[in-house]
Structure 1
Amino acid sequence: MKKMFAASWGTGLKWSSVLVTLVLAGVSASGFLWPGFRQPGFGFWLHALPPVLILAGALPFVVRGFTIQNGVLLVHRLLWDTTIPLAGLQSAEVVPHAMSGSLRTLGNGGAFSFTGRYWSKSLGHYRAFVNDWKRPVVLRWPERTIVLSCDDPEAFVAALRQMESPAAHDEG
């Protein structure tokens, strides 16, 4: 069985991505306007290059969608797929405010995705693959938790429960 799910950008991600891009592009472009940086020397590159590198570094981590197949969850990124084995999955549920009150401990907080490692009182430490805060799905294993978002969270959870693996049929 193979099920694919799109991961559209929510309004919050669209706005944060535009804002981050404009701010970083402005910082980079100011290197051309600042009188002291008009000559392309070390100071110019030190000022203009880091914002471009930050944007270029965030782009590959875009979450394009998800595929459930052969007992694994594939997270489709811009340039690669992240493979997450589903063996031992204890629960999958739609949790409307799963990321509320979360702190990012390592990762990207709004430049083209909300991805990386996060922590919250309700979930503890977890890994996020989120484009839309309004459609989160929480996956729990004994040793880890993952939060993701897709266009149809209910269908995603139903697909996990339909898998042949007995662990995925657990409701709790």
Structure 2
Amino acid sequence: MHPKQHLAPWGRALIVISLLSSLLCLGISAGLMLSRVRGLSWPALLPLAVLAICALFTVRGYVVTADALLVRRLLWNTRLPWRGSAALQSVQAEPDAMRGSIRLWGNGGMYSFTGLFRSKALGSYRAFVTDRHRTVVLRFANRTVVVSPASPQDFVRDVQQVLGLPAAS
């Protein structure tokens, strides 16, 4: 089977949070630079560093391969193997799966919702999300992962096909 590409479109919340936080960081940086008559100071670079780091962790899409899910980032892929001691047990499209979640560690909306989250419905989970309304929950033997492909149903179908899982009815 050839790898299947899935885009990770940005939802409205991510667009708004990313825009506002970017403008805030740029404004703080500009204000600090303008307040320093004798040149650039390191505090002015801090907000720009935050923007750059968050941009690096942006989720650009997902690739379903025979042996793993690849989460496409700006400069690298995060690899989540399907088999082994942490084998995938189920995959299901669950719209708004992140509802009621709290962020334990990670990014809460500056170019992506990524990191460790917790909710009553899912317990602790790792998110690689760009649209909180278009979510798919992957339950592995030792963890839960939430992603947000453009077409959750197509993504689920592709994962089921590559692993030989029965389609949910």
Fold conserved between structures, TM > 0.5: yes
1:119 aligns with 2:115: no
Q: Residue 111 of structure 1 aligns to a residue in which SS?
A: coil
Q: Which has the larger radius of gyration?
A: 1
Matches within 5 A, 1:1-172: 1=1, 2-34=3-35, 37-40=36-39, 44-46=41-43, 48-87=44-83, 88-163=87-162, 165-166=163-164, 168-169=165-166, 171=168
CA RMSD of aligned residues (A): 1.6
What are the Cα deviations for residues 15-36 of structure 1, in whole angstroms up to 9, with x where unaligned? 11100100000100001333xx
Aligned structure 1 segments of 4 or more residues deviating by more than 4 angstroms = none
Contact 2:94 2:135 in 1 (8 A): yes
Give the Å deviation of 1:170: 7.5
Find the aligned partners of 1:171 and 1:142 in 2 and give their Cα distance. 19
Contact 1:91 1:170 in 2 (8 A): no
Find the aligned partners of 1:132 and 1:80 in 2 and give their Cα distance. 20
Contact 1:10 1:133 in 2 (8 A): yes
Unaligned runs of 5+ in 1: none
Determine what percentage of the aligned residue pairs are the same residue.
Answer: 44
TM-score (norm 2): 0.92
AA paired with 1:98? A
Q: Residue 127 of structure 2 aligns to a residue in which SS?
A: strand
What are the Cα deviations for residues 99-137 of structure 1, in whole angstroms up to 9, with x where unaligned? 011111111111111111111111111100000011000
TM-score (norm 1): 0.90
Pairs aligned (count) = 165
Unaligned runs of 5+ in 2: none
Contact 2:62 2:69 in 1 (8 A): yes
